[in-house]
Structure 1
Amino acid sequence: MDLPDSVLALDGNTLLPTVLKEDVEAVQICGGPAGLEAELQQLKDLSRVNHEMLIQTEEQLQKEATEDAQFRNQFGTRWTRPQSSTLTKNLQDRLNRFAANLKQAAESDALIDRSVREHSALMSILDSRPIESALPSLSRPIMSLDASEDSIVGALKQSLRQLDTLGAQRAGLEDMLKEMKRKDNILPKLMATAGSHEDLFRKEISKCDHICEEIAKNLGDQEQILMHIQAQNDEFAAIFNFEDYKGKIISSLSYSSFWVHTPANIFGFSTSSLPDDPIFDLSVSREKTYKQIEAAIAKYREIKENINDGIVSREME
């Protein structure tokens, strides 16, 4: 029945896990995907400066070699200075390595730039502030004929709380049965009795009758509440155009098929007592959205690390 996720989605109440939200905020503090463009430009500016330095140095060495050749032609054997190629060999070797590094850096820059372009759609979700605003939300009807939306939502929430309460009560009753079983050692009674063992067993088992009756009543009450929830949920889905919301969720998921179930309890109820929808499970879709955000964060960090490495290497050259 997509509960309680459909109720949580109403008016943007979908919440991100704390760790994921903190990761997104850390990305945004660093400038987010939009800030990568400025860092890419810084990388390009440093590359341009280094390339200009390479050209200037090459020109200086060429000028020195030309002057050396001119003086040798002019003075002949009287020009005893070592040849330019000998004097500048170490400089030329370093310059060649510098040129090779710049070529490799240019290729790396092209890969980074392409990665930013290819993954801009994936990472764009990280520029949403707050990040929850990027998640599809279940909107209230634009027009209301009888203003009954709040009462419908309130009744559904109340039923979900009752369902959760019954689940907690039943868990307590089951714990009581386990405790009775642990404490009740029937072996000495079996050894001491001279009568029918079956009578003894029936007598011992009867101690649990009141708990079993309460569990049976609990299950009956749960069945009734589930019937109410089904009817309330049908009304809720019709009024809040839930099918359209499902479509938004499906269209927003394009990067992940992995999910991990995380119950939501913002309104004081969980999903432990609700049957699963075999066709569409909002908790699955919510987790897929989280995985999409995680993938965007991972790609952003990868690109940013590559840019930072490029900037550091150029500043050291």
Structure 2
Amino acid sequence: MAQTVFIDGAAGTTGLEIADRLAGRPEFELIALPEARRKDDAARAEALNAADFAILCLPDDAAREAVAMIGNDTTRVIDASTAHRVAPGWVYGFPEVEGRDEVANARRVSNPGCYSTGFIALLAPLIRAGLLPADWPYTCNAVSGYSGGGKALIARFEDDRDIAWRGYALQLGHKHVPEMQARAGLSRSPLFTPAVIPAMRGMVVEVPLPLSAMEGAASPEALREELARFYQGSRIVRMGEEPADGELLLRGSRAPTDAMELSVFASPDGSQARLVAVLDNLGKGASGAAVQSLNLMAGLHEAAGLRL
């Protein structure tokens, strides 16, 4: 018997991509509201309480309101907003880092932020292994396709073709920082510098490491080996190939993917390194991650229906 899924906020970019990944899968049956009732609280509450799984693709306050509408102990929730990413009682939906069993058995799962996914994937295993210090003031530089900003930013980039780069969060208060610090196991907030580029999707997240100045830091080779060991066997997170020409490109024509590739680049003397994650902000950075968690919670293989 198919398990029912209600996507609250199904008309947004993340919701549409989740629905696309679930289309044609007999394991799931989507509960859909007619357009006229999509924002009707009574209709939403009915759908939320009727579903085996509710996936919230909403702004933070609306996501909290949706959770409050659930009056049973059977509907399980995946929240794609920022609202519950460091909240008590919620499991962080990064199975490779938080544990597949933890996600599979959870009633409440918070979907990671797109930038956070790359940052945590790179640092959490290395800090847990004691190869990098938890108290270092880490910096994260990242660029993303404009689809991560929702309909308003998509329209802005597509209407104004002269935008080549958009830096934001210039006051250093980006909403991803709390989860980046907490889930990577850091004692200090990272300095995060995000930007948007004129590509629909795709992102690069980088953590530069001045290894020679970091007490207790391991060599670039040891960092690379630990990441390869930690993600060994994963079809979704994997080590990238060393570029033959010394360049890493993010192409606007790149096909959608739910995978993420990690790399460790280093200076010849090993005194400096760059940890780099390349992913799709709508894939492992949003909708693909939600479907991965849904698969586990439904007792299915985590990669079912993903674009790998």
Say yes or no: TM over 0.5.
no
Larger CA Rg, structure 1 vs 2: 1
Q: Is the strand fraction higher in 1 or 2?
A: 2
Structure 1 length normalisation: TM-score?
0.21
Structure 2 length normalisation: TM-score?
0.22
Q: Is the helix fraction higher in 1 or 2?
A: 1
More RCO (CA 8 Å, sep 6+): 1
